[in-house]
Amino acid sequence: MLQKILEAAEFLSAKISSPPKVGLITGTGLGDLTRNVEVHARIPYSEIPHFPVSTTVGHKGTMVFGRLGKKALMAMEGRFHVYEGYTPEEVAFPVRVMARLGVEYLLISSAAGGLNPLFQPGEVMAVTDHINLTGRNPLLGPNLEPFGPRFPDMSKAYDPALVELAKQKALDLGISLKQGVYVGILGPSLETPAETRFLRMAGADAVGMSTVLEVIAAVHCGLRVLAVVAITNVNIPERMKAVSIEEVIAVAEKAGNKLAPLLEEVISSLMVS
Ligand code: HPA
């Protein structure tokens, strides 16, 4: 695994002039968040050695290098999910490549279902903490010592200073930014009413099929993480409605109009060049 990460990083570093300090992962319907990036290179995942290839509808499958808000950035347009058949290690692979290339801050966006009854579809939520209910972990197996410790601390997985920064920027932009706990499930089936009630009782405000494994890998290798989710639907156990992927993508795209300026402002304020 270590060798594969190093080879992918080496391949990419030969294609770029300045090492990225900020990493961005965009989720379902949110690939457009990179529209304002001053692009220096755009590399299909299929060209990067050992990189998994994206299969989900609404995901592009390219790595973008460039600048946003004057910061050197690399952005994944499209990500890997365990429900597609990728292993947790594959899901975490790009995060580790980012860390190897010099990324210090990882910003993650995804679509999620709301569990908090006060949420509305189309709202955005900063993740303050997570519950990993995927039953998987990217750190299983021998520890990658050069990347991080065997038992990484998760007491501040979602950097509180970055949540504060996002709150401040949301206020400046006039965007209502919710905060809450994200529960990661395996998918791809959506939740039953009983599961929805269970997840809510467990303390989660939003549920999705991504983010948690990437965040575990990111924290392991010392990245500072900010995750923001687009609430595409709100699930209330007593009156569950069918969730359609078309609707999830459409609402995520709309929420992207709020997420893009928010992330841009946050990136501009990071203490990196
Ligand atoms: N459940 C799980 N993942 C999701 C949902 C949902 O309701 N909406 C968007 N991603």
Q: Per-residue DSSP letters for 132-170?
A: E-SS--TT-SS--TTT--SS---TTSB-HHHHHHHHHHH
Expressed in angstroms, the distance from the first to the final Cα of the chain is: 30
Q: Whose CA is nearest to atom 2 of ligand 1?
A: 208
Output the CA 190–ligand 1 centroid distance in Å. Answer: 6
Mean pLDDT in residue range 256-265? 92
For residue 127, list its beta bridge partners.
180
Pocket test for ligand 1, best of 248, 251, 253, 254 (most atoms within 8 A of CB): 248
pLDDT at residue 59 greater than cutoff 60: no
Residue 196 contacts residue 235 (beta carbons within 8 Å): yes
Q: Residue 30 — pLDDT band, cuts 50, 70, 90?
A: confident
Q: Residue 208 — pLDDT band, cuts 50, 70, 90?
A: very high
Task: Please identify which residue in the block is written with the tokens 């992330």.
Answer: 263
Output the CA 90–ligand 1 centroid distance in Å. Answer: 22
pLDDT tens-place string over residues 132-189: 999 999 999 999 999 999 999 999 999 999 999 999 999 999 999 999 999 999 999 9
Q: What is the reported pTM?
A: 0.95
Pocket test for ligand 1, best of 83, 84, 190 (most atoms within 8 A of CB): 190
Q: Is the CB of 191 under 6 A from ligand 1?
A: yes
Q: What phi and psi values does residue 91 have, to the nearest 5 degrees?
A: -60, -35
Task: Please identify which residue in the block is written with the tokens 């998987």.
Answer: 136
What DSSP designation does 239 have?
G
pLDDT tens-place string over residues 65-114: 999 988 999 999 888 999 999 999 999 999 999 999 999 999 999 999 99
Residue 134 contacts residue 199 (beta carbons within 8 Å): no
Q: Is the CB of 248 under 6 A from ligand 1?
A: yes
